[in-house]
Amino acid sequence: DAKTTQPPSMDCAEGRAANLPCNHSTISGNEYVYWYRQIHSQGPQYIIHGLKNNETNEMASLIITEDRKSSTLILPHATLRDTAVYYCIVRVVGEGKLIFGQGTELSVKP
Partner 1 sequence: EAGVTQSPTHLIKTRGQQATLRCSPISGHTSVYWYQQALGLGLQFLLWYDEGEERNRGNFPPRFSGRQFPNYSSELNVNALELEDSALYLCASSLRQGTYEQYFGPGTRLTVT
Does the footprint of partner 1 cover residue 44 (CB under 8 A)?
Answer: yes
Query: Considering only 15-23, 44-52, 61-69, 74-82, which stretch makes contact with partner 1 by CB under 8 A?
Result: 44-52
What residues contact 31, with CB distance under 8 A and at least 6 apart?
Answer: 3, 24, 90, 91, 92, 93
Residue among 27, 33, 34, 90 that touches partner 1 (CB under 8 A): 34
Maximum distance among all alpha carbons in the chain? 41
Among positions 43, 53, 67, 110, the unique one binding partner 1 when judged by CB under 8 A:
43
Distances (CA, A) of 104 to 84, 93, 95: 8, 24, 24
**46, 51, 77, 109: residue in contact with partner 1 (rule CB under 8 A):** 46
CB-CB contact of 86 with 62 (8 Å): no
| CA–CA gap between residue 103 and residue 89 (Å, rounded) | 9
Q: Which stretch binds partner 1 (CB under 8 A): 17-25, 40-48, 62-70, 71-79?
A: 40-48
For residue 7, how many C-alpha atoms fall within 13 Å in the half-sphere facing its CB? 11
Which residues ranging from 83 to 102 are in contact with partner 1 (CB under 8 A)?
87, 93-102
Is 61 among the residues that bind partner 1 (CB under 8 A)?
no
| 52 near partner 1 (CB under 8 A) | no
